[in-house]
Structure 1
Amino acid sequence: MKNGIGQDEAPDRRGRSKPCVFLDRDGVINHDSADYIKSLDEFVPIEGSYEAIARLNRAGRMVIVITNQSAIGRGIIDGSTLERIHERLAEEVGAAGGHITDILFCPHRPDEKCSCRKPEPGMLFEAAARHGIDLSRSVMVGDSAKDIECGIRAGCKTVLVLSGNGRQALESLKNRGISPDAVFPFLRDAVHWIIRQ
């Protein structure tokens, strides 16, 4: 498990662990690709996603990105390129008035059977330990069945967005009797619901 942008943040002044909004990256913040996001040119934000992060921050929500990046394990992209993509993401969110506290990614291929690749909840547990997060008060937002399963396994509320692979994920989850707590077209549409949690 690797991390990118980040600052340590302790529990709040009353000593309680804090809530967090965990965001999948591809298909939630930026447009996804079946061929992976391999360069800065291929990293294209979904309209309104940066502003949505800023709105969450203004409402007092920490935002952490949790993303599978098996393209590294497959040799399709190197770590320095991924770091540049995440630096740009953090900069552009900052320019929109928001802040990403941390970016955690899993570089492993599915066959490596690691504990951090979603749907395993390892990255959420790591983020919770690092930043003093109360997972039971947190929300995982994703566009795949793996994202929703990961959030459920970690004890979070879950939001499925229909951007990216969301429509296929919704059908897959229904067939397996798994239900996210809420479904919205895009991240920007989910912000009000998330804040109310």
Structure 2
Amino acid sequence: MQINSHLRPAVFLDRDGTLIKHVHHLCSPEQVALEQGASEALCLLQEAGFVCVVVTNQSVVGRGMLSVEGLKAIHDKMEQLLSTQGARVDSIYFSTHVPHTSDLREVEYFDRKPGPGMLLRAAQDLGLSLVKSWMIGDSISDVLAGANAGCKGSCLLKTGLYSLECQDCSQISFLASDILDAAQIILRQDSISI
């Protein structure tokens, strides 16, 4: 993608374990609960000029455990909870591909993280500059999706599987305790680089 001054910076956000509490194979809106600091983080990032885009692997749809309509109901509930705290996301992208490997580093499908497809599609759709953008997530697949898409950097949250993964992965820009910590790190880094 060509670097263009009118393209906006974004923060790409994983959903489960980042914005909302992780529930294995989440299939019900009643199970949706925000992660602590999620609303505040989104507000800080958007006030600083970042577009906030959710990019989430949702194999529950591909496995036949949840319909696309059911997934929309879950996202509606997440957005409703954010709205009650004065926050919002700008867009949501999801992949329904079912992985055939447990290796979170392997790109099996272009659109499934760690593949860059969702980020590249969002950049095209929304006029985003990937080189000015960041990825936040709780899995190495999130970090690698950001790197594979050409993002400026990626924050790995300690809320997820990070302790089970290789922490010396060169694509991890920063470790953060939670989404609010990650947002504050990104804002500090961007103010330093201006």
Range class of TM-score, shorter chain:
0.7 to 0.9
Q: Please, which of 118, 123, 126 is the counterpart of residue 131 of structure 1?
A: 126
4+ aligned runs moved over 4 Å, structure 1: none
SS at match of 1:105: strand
1:132-154 Cα offsets, whole Å, 9 max, x none, are: 00000000001101001110111
Amino acid at match of 2:154: T
Confirm whether residue 19 of structure 1 aligns to residue 9 of structure 2: yes
Residue 172 (str. 1) matches residue 166 (str. 2)? yes
- Scaled by the length of structure 1, the TM-score of the pair is 0.85
Distance 1:165 1:37 in 2: 17
Partners of 1:15 and 1:134 in 2: CA distance: 8
Show the counterpart of 1:189.
181
Aligned residues: 179
Shift of 1:46: 1.1
Distance, in Å, in 2 between the alignment partners of 1:192 and 1:128 is 23
Residue matched to 1:37: 26
Structure 1: segments with no counterpart, 5+ residues: 1-13
Which runs of no fewer than 5 residues in structure 2 stay unpaired?
102-107
CA distance in 2, matches of 1:183, 1:114: 26
Structure with higher RCO (Cα < 8 A, 6+ apart):
1
Note the 1:30-109 alignment, pairs <5 A: 30-33=20-23, 35-109=24-98
Q: Of 153, 157, 161, which residue of structure 1 is paired with 2:157?
A: 161
Q: Residue 115 of structure 2 aligns to a residue in which SS?
A: coil
Q: CA deviation at 1:72?
A: 0.5
Tell me the distance in 2 between the aligned counterparts of 1:141 and 1:180.
Answer: 10
Amino acid at match of 1:51: E
